[in-house]
Amino acid sequence: MKKVSFIHCADLHLDSPVTGLRNVPNFIAKRLQESTFASFSAIIDKAIAYKVDFIIIAGDIFDGEDRSIKAQIRFRKEMERLHDHHIAAYIIHGNHDHLKGSWTKINFPDNVYAFPAEVTAKTYENENTTVHLYGFSYESRHIMERKIADYKRKEDGDYHIGILHGNLEGASGHSPYAPFSIQELTAKQMDYWALGHIHKRAILTDEPLIIYPGNIQGRHKKETGEKGAYLIHLSEMGTMAEFFPTAPIVWRTVIIHAKDIHTFDELLLLVNQRIEEEKKAGISLILFLEIHQLMIAEDIEAMELLEILQQEAAEEDEFIWVAAVKYQENKEWIKDNLVNESEFYKELFAAANDLQNVEKALEALYNHPAAHRYLPKLTDEEKKELAIESEDLLIKLLY
């Protein structure tokens, strides 16, 4: 039977710094710094255990265009492990580790094939199956052209796999590099599309399978949930895809309902119970706690509660670190009632929901000569959050 199996991962961002954490004890800082490597190593373990034909890495192997020597050496070690087990690796470089970066070049073993800057076809063969793989590496950081136009499926071969580091059009919050639409990918008649760039895991279509595997290790508050890679089988029976998690540390937002809590001790007990529950997952966690409906919020500062919880962090194989505690205030007003009450509120909510207004309101800050350098670009989601907060403030003022 004609069949092939492989692992698809992307956005390793090896040696990436972790951001947004304060007061982290040393042992956790070390584990975080090691986490991208550990996750990648676990992916290679799987490749060996599953005896796959090859692995595909769809860009952003290294976090920085200077590709630290440390990261390259660690990467090479993993490639050598694959080499020892006769597993090939097809890799492309993305916007983070583009070819024009300045780095000390380190050679990889001959089982590794890195695609050049032009879309190129490369053939893999096992006993009775021929697979064509198509891909390109970023020549420089900002590839704005529609590289998808250069992918041309060959006439022969049993299976065809497109590898592309780029942005699905319309996906917000990501640099719009090498843009494409799902229709464009589908029209190429590949059997599988191995995508990279967007760090949130997503299956775009089933027929054919088009997958963003997400990055392999969360590195900040917004990269939550399990992270890992996909095991893919292509055969005459069809295509099979299976996600497996490998990230040793998971970032998670946890919502705790504290409606019936009246004392600090009760609150602490409730929170600790929840933390114990999370512990059952058996992996290390960075938690962001959101406490909802807390009546005694005014008596207990979230910061104080956070400090107490952080003091309890123990050095264990599977640690839990509470990174933040936030109270979610009860909204005393109900939107629908207000909208029915008067045209004024209707207009107010419409204005608050228009993201262009958020942008306009932020313009002064973002154009400020000193401030703008320190301000990250906001995603639509963040703009929405800001809009909701301002809405709440406004209504409270008016009420």
Question: Closest distance between Mn ion and the C-beta of residue 38, in Å?
Answer: 18
Output 11 or 65, the one with its CB closest to Mn ion.
11
Question: Closest distance between Mn ion and the C-beta of residue 25, in Å?
Answer: 28
Output 111 or 137, the one with its CB closest to Mn ion.
137
Output 14 or 387, the one with its CB closest to Mn ion.
14
Angle at 94 between CA 92 and CA 100, to 5 degrees: 100
Strands (E), 191-344: 192-196, 202-205, 209-212, 228-235, 238-245, 249-257, 284-292, 320-328
Query: Of residues 18, 40, 55, 60, which one binds Mn ion by CB under 5 A?
Result: 60
Question: Closest distance between Mn ion and the C-beta of residue 249, in Å?
Answer: 18
- Token pair of 154, please? 């060959």
Output 159 or 251, the one with its CB closest to Mn ion.
251
Stretch that binds Mn ion, among 18-26, 59-67, 98-106, 184-192 (CB under 5 A): 59-67
Compute how many other C-beta atoms are within 10 angstroms of the C-beta atom of residue 27: 13
Output 111 or 167, the one with its CB closest to Mn ion.
167
Output 251 or 327, the one with its CB closest to Mn ion.
251
Output 80 or 139, the one with its CB closest to Mn ion.
139
Output 175 or 357, the one with its CB closest to Mn ion.
175
Question: Closest distance between Mn ion and the C-beta of residue 165, in Å?
Answer: 8
CA distances from 107 to 12, 46, 53, 62, 96 (A): 19, 24, 22, 15, 19
Q: How many helices (H) and strands (E) does the chain have?
A: 9, 15
Closest to 94 measured CA to CA, from 50, 120, 64: 64
Question: Closest distance between Mn ion and the C-beta of residue 89, in Å?
Answer: 18
- Token pair of 119, please? 């879309």
Question: Closest distance between Mn ion and the C-beta of residue 386, in Å?
Answer: 25
Question: Closest distance between Mn ion and the C-beta of residue 197, in Å?
Answer: 6
Contacts of residue 376, defined as CB under 8 A and 6 or more positions apart, other chains included, come to: none
Contacts of residue 322, defined as CB under 8 A and 6 or more positions apart, other chains included, come to: 275, 287, 288, 289, 306, 309, 310, 313
Q: How many CA atoms lie within 13 A of 357 on its CB side?
A: 14
**Does residue 63 interact with Mn ion by CB under 5 A?**
no
Q: How many residues bind Mn ion (CB under 5 A)?
A: 2
Output 60 or 191, the one with its CB closest to Mn ion.
60
> Do residues 17 and 172 make contact, with C-beta atoms less than 8 angstroms apart?
no
Stretch that binds Mn ion, among 3-11, 131-139, 143-151, 298-306 (CB under 5 A): 3-11
> Do residues 209 and 190 make contact, with C-beta atoms less than 8 angstroms apart?
no
What is the SS3 assignment for 62? strand
Site track 270-289 with Mn ion (rule: CB under 5 A), x = hit: --------------------
Contacts of residue 88, defined as CB under 8 A and 6 or more positions apart, other chains included, come to: 53, 54, 55, 82, 111, 112, 113, 124
Question: Closest distance between Mn ion and the C-beta of residue 193, in Å?
Answer: 17
> Do residues 192 and 234 make contact, with C-beta atoms less than 8 angstroms apart?
yes
Output 60 or 391, the one with its CB closest to Mn ion.
60
> Do residues 270 and 307 make contact, with C-beta atoms less than 8 angstroms apart?
no
The DSSP secondary structure of 316-376, one letter per residue, reads -SS-EEEEEEEEEPPP-S-HHHHHHH-HHHHHHHHHHH-HHHHHHHHHHHHT-TTTGGGPP
Question: Closest distance between Mn ion and the C-beta of residue 39, in Å?
Answer: 14
Site track 9-28 with Mn ion (rule: CB under 5 A), x = hit: --x-----------------
Stretch that binds Mn ion, among 8-16, 132-140, 150-158, 327-335 (CB under 5 A): 8-16
Question: Closest distance between Mn ion and the C-beta of residue 95, in Å?
Answer: 7
Stretch that binds Mn ion, among 58-66, 76-84, 283-291, 342-350 (CB under 5 A): 58-66
- Token pair of 73, please? 């050496």
Stretch that binds Mn ion, among 23-31, 54-62, 123-131, 270-278 (CB under 5 A): 54-62
Interface residues with Mn ion (CB under 5 A) are 11, 60
